[in-house]
């Protein structure tokens, strides 16, 4: 397929999927339940972290988790009583369990006592080529508290371990991208959309390879960067908008996150 034809296809699919009808059956519907910035950030972080498996199950698990926070996540994180943490004892989604949930809450309480927005944990150094150093910064900050559970490390990836960081990149897309389509939130202004890296899940990877946008065999950080660079040739200011197109094309075959 010629580059011009490929861009036309990607633009068409971007417009098809980047619209409010996409929200209902997608994990992004979870943070869309809230209006306060911090509530959106917390709900989005959990939704992205749990985005593994059937989308219906992901949304159910996120709903159960937020129910345990009285559907008031920012207030709960900051002001919960110790006894209220017992609500999470039997929470589980795939390999994410109550130990992980409780550490997330502990970190978020610690962080929001010092910052007004989770964006401050992700801002990369000035001059960084992409969000990679910001993800490294978040990972180190997240595990800077004493006695963090080692098992939780598998749920918070970092480019330093060569991870594609697909769920965190999706979370960042939600928070950073800003347009008038009503799907992504565009809450964060310190991170520019052109610094984002495309979330590289199984759907996106398969479609990207079929379209000749990805050649690296391993699905790691370098593959995510390679794909994003290819997408940058179609829109240098907002390459990750094509995540909608690639994911949508892949989703038409089945309904799973991986």
List, for residues 70-94, the tens digit of each pLDDT value. Answer: 999 999 999 999 999 999 999 999 9
Alpha carbon distance 231, 238 (integer Å): 9
Contact 100, 149 (CB under 8 A): yes
pLDDT given at position 252: 74
Q: What is the DSSP string of 148-199?
A: --GGGGGGS--GGGT---HHHHHHHHHHH---SSSSS-----SS-GGG----
Of 69, 66, 47, 68, nearest to 58 by C-alpha is 47
- To 5 degrees, how large is the angle CA 189–CA 194–CA 197? 105
- What is the per-residue pLDDT for 126? 92
* pLDDT mean across residues, the chain: 95
- Taking the domains of the chain in order of start, what are their residue ranges? 3-257
Q: Is residue 22 scored above 60 in pLDDT? A: yes
Q: Is the pLDDT of residue 253 over 70?
A: no
Q: How confident is the model at residue 213, as a pLDDT?
A: 97
| pLDDT over 60 at 255, yes or no | no
- Average pLDDT estimate for 126-145: 97
Q: Where are the alpha helices (DSSP H) in the chain?
A: 3-17, 37-49, 55-67, 73-79, 98-112, 132-142, 166-176, 202-210, 221-232, 243-251
DSSP summary character for residue 68: T
* Cα distance between the two ends of the chain: 27
């Amino acid at each position: 397929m010629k580059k011009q034809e490929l861009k036309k296809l990607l633009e068409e699919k971007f417009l098809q999927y980047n619209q409010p009808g996409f929200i209902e059956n997608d994990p992004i519907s979870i943070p869309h339940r809230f209006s306060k910035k911090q509530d959106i950030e917390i709900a989005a972080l959990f939704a992205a972290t749990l985005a593994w498996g059937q989308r219906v199950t992901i949304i159910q698990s996120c709903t159960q988790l937020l129910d345990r926070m009285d559907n008031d996540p920012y207030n709960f994180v900051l002001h919960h009583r110790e006894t209220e943490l017992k609500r999470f004892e039997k929470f589980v989604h795939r390999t994410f369990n109550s130990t992980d949930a409780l550490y997330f809450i502990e970190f978020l309480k610690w962080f929001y006592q010092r910052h007004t927005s989770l964006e401050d944990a992700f801002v990369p150094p000035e001059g960084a080529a992409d969000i990679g150093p910001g993800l490294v910064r978040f990972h180190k900050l997240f595990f800077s508290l004493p006695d963090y559970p080692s098992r939780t490390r598998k749920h918070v990836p970092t480019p330093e371990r060569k991870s594609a960081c697909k769920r965190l990149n999706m979370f960042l897309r939600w928070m950073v991208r800003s347009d008038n389509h009503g799907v992504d939130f565009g809450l964060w202004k310190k991170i520019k959309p052109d610094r984002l890296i495309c979330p590289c899940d199984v759907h996106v990877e398969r479609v990207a390879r079929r379209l000749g946008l990805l050649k690296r065999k391993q699905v790691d950080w370098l593959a995510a960067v390679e794909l994003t660079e290819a997408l940058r040739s179609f829109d240098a200011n907002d390459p990750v908008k094509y995540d909608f197109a690639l994911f949508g094309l892949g989703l038409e075959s089945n309904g799973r996150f991986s």
